[in-house]
Chain A
Amino acid sequence: MNDIVNVALPKGRLGEKVYEMFKAAGYPCEALEDPGRRLTFENPDAGIRYFWVKPSDVAIYVEKGAADIGVAGKDILLEYVPDVYELLDVGLGKCRMCVAAPDDFKDDYRKTLRVATKFPHVAKEHYSGVGRDIEIIKLNGSIELAPILGLSDVIVDIVETGATLKQNGLKVFDALFDISARLIANKSGYRFKREKIDLIRKKLETVKENKDD
């Protein structure tokens, strides 16, 4: 069991790009490229086993040790604050966490600010840092709809290009932090597979640098 490093990949476009990086780093897995209905994919020669999980679950799989390493967005790491190592910024999935609102929004400090978001912890941290009283409205999707229908005053959400905001008459009022995908590791698993995980991290770093060049 200790010979294999278990990797949780986020399902979707980001996960496919992450796998391409692992492949370029010397950890290919033919089975994964022709998945069928299987859930786990292994290349014993490379000492690696992959599985796809929902992007927001990657950190849980890694924190609980079901996966030794994984790739998760910084947004997820800041929202759920899992107890994991954050070994590398893989440089994929770049976007920003922003406060956005209708173009004509003006904050009225006499009132509690209503904030719609998928990231209540992030929103709470931001507004408590500036001492603003808020009411958080936790949503699971279509966040942009909330201020349009008067459900909230602003939203705290991920913005990639800003096109969706623009189409809905919203704009960015505050950029909170940059987001990108991070290589994370289980704290105990790292100790007992240290050499293998460090090698993966180094090789991924090289792939990233070559791409940047």
Chain B
Amino acid sequence: MCNPEGGLHAALRRVFETAGYRRYKMSKFEEYDLYSRNRSFLQSEKVLTFTDTDGKLLALKPDVTLSIIKNFRGSQGLEKLYYHENVYRASGVGFREIEQAGLECIGDVDEYSVCEVLSLAAKSLMTVGRDCELDISHLGLLCDLLDGFGDDLKSRVLRFFGGKNTGELRSLLESSGVPDEAALRIIELSDIDCPADEAPKKLQDILGGYVSWERLQLFCDTCRFLGDEFPGMIRVDFSTVGDLSYYSGIIFRGFIDGVPESVLSGGQYDNLAEKLSKHARAIGFALYLDLIDPLLLHKTEYDCDALLLYSEDKEPQEIYHEVKNLQEKGLSVMTAREVPAGLKFREIYSLKEGGAVRVE
């Protein structure tokens, strides 16, 4: 029988491997110190810890990116890695084991590598086979526009960008004494939510002359590329924001119809690489498989296609032979001496003299 989750995981592996990404298998544990120094990069500050036999404080990994970048050696040039791992995070009232697949591209990351990662993010979403959308924005451009703002004001502006809360953004800029023209530009940027191919013109109109020209041109080129390659699927939406101390450039989120939160999250995290003393550029994303897998499970009326009932006096070979016969007809088969309570079967067979006889 087909395993739809397994199908998705294999499809993702194909997406990553055909682009030359190599599997990175890692231990479930990491020294706690790595997380204590980079708490704000984690989705939750709570980490499951334990003391190793040599007295070292270890943690069950709450994140994969930190471990990969920690192990990156500058001499490796461009490292392209993918992973499929479980991470352990505090969620609600306790910790949860969360299944993630994703990739990281670290080192001499050029504009092609950025486009490649974004296209792999889009293709990863498409493997699920449902309506999906990839939203991108650029924190570098936003920071250029907020140049001179204090950290507190910047983080409040970012919060209102993230909530599409134009009303309060306007009030904040007004009460903070931001000149009208600059405030208007910021508000117009926060309003951008359009297909990727329509974004360059809007961005040039709003940002031209106020941000790094090179950065703006490169982002517009990326938008045009994505708009052409994935028509209708990629939008430029400046409500896509992240932590400025880690992310530096393009940032993106993926959504699938039927899942109430983003299932894919990624971006350029040069600032994190710098923080970990790696003089490299870096971009990557993670796909949250635990959010997607439930979509792929078809509701089934029956727990198993067939039940084969047998009595104690039957020989194992005889039972095995009848199970094989039924399986060859394409049925999944459970065997038992009595009908298991609470389970439903499409067909029930009883093993009699001379073979299996259908009784229900």
Chain A positions near chain B (C-beta within 8 angstroms): 2, 63-65, 83-89, 185-189, 191-192, 194
Contact = CB atoms under 8 A, between A and B. Distances in A.
B164 interface: yes
**B: interface residue count bin:** 10 to 19
A59 to B, nearest CB: 12
B234 to A, nearest CB: 12
B260 A188 contact: yes
Contact of A191 (B133, B165, B167, B168): B133
B262 interface: yes
B231 interface: no
A85 B165 CA distance: 7
A63 B260 CA distance: 7
Given A2-B257, A85-B163, A86-B163, A188 B262 contact: yes
Majority secondary structure, A binding face: mixed
B229 interface: no
Interface in B93-116: none
Interface string B239-260: 1000000000000000111011
A185 B193 CA distance: 15
B261 interface: yes
Nearest to B193: A194
17 contacts: A64-B260, A65-B260, A84-B163, A85-B165, A86-B163, A86-B164, A87-B165, A89-B167, A187-B255, A187-B260, A187-B261, A188-B260, A188-B261, A189-B260, A192-B131, A192-B133, A194-B193
B259 A188 contact: yes
A89 B259 CA distance: 26
A84 B133 CA distance: 17
Contacts of B167: 88-89
Given A191-B133, A192-B131, A186 B260 contact: yes
A85 B164 contact: yes
A65 B255 CA distance: 13
B257 A192 contact: yes
Majority secondary structure, B binding face: loop
B352 to A, nearest CB: 48
Contacts, number: 43
A188 B163 contact: no
Nearest to B135: A191
A189 B257 CA distance: 7
Contacts of A191: 133, 135, 255
Interface of B: 131, 133, 135, 163-165, 167-168, 193, 239, 255-257, 259-262
A85 B260 contact: no
Nearest to A77: B163
A178 to B, nearest CB: 10
Contacts of A2: 257
Contacts of B164: 85-87, 185
Contacts of B260: 63-65, 186-189
Contacts of A64: 260
Nearest to A87: B164
A61 to B, nearest CB: 10
Given A64-B260, A187-B262, A188-B262, A86 B239 contact: no
The 9 A-B pairs with the shortest beta carbon distances in the complex, nearest first, are: A65-B260, A86-B165, A85-B164, A86-B163, A192-B257, A188-B255, A191-B133, A191-B255, A89-B167
B163 to A, nearest CB: 5
A192 B239 CA distance: 16
Contacts of A86: 163-165, 168
B260 to A, nearest CB: 3
Nearest to A66: B260
B205 to A, nearest CB: 21
Nearest to A67: B260
Given A64-B260, A87-B164, 17 more contacts: A2-B257, A65-B260, A84-B163, A85-B163, A85-B164, A85-B239, A86-B164, A86-B165, A89-B167, A89-B168, A185-B164, A187-B260, A187-B261, A188-B255, A189-B260, A192-B131, A194-B193
Nearest to B235: A191
A194 B257 CA distance: 12
A186 B260 CA distance: 7
Nearest to B263: A188
B168 A83 contact: no
A28 B239 CA distance: 31
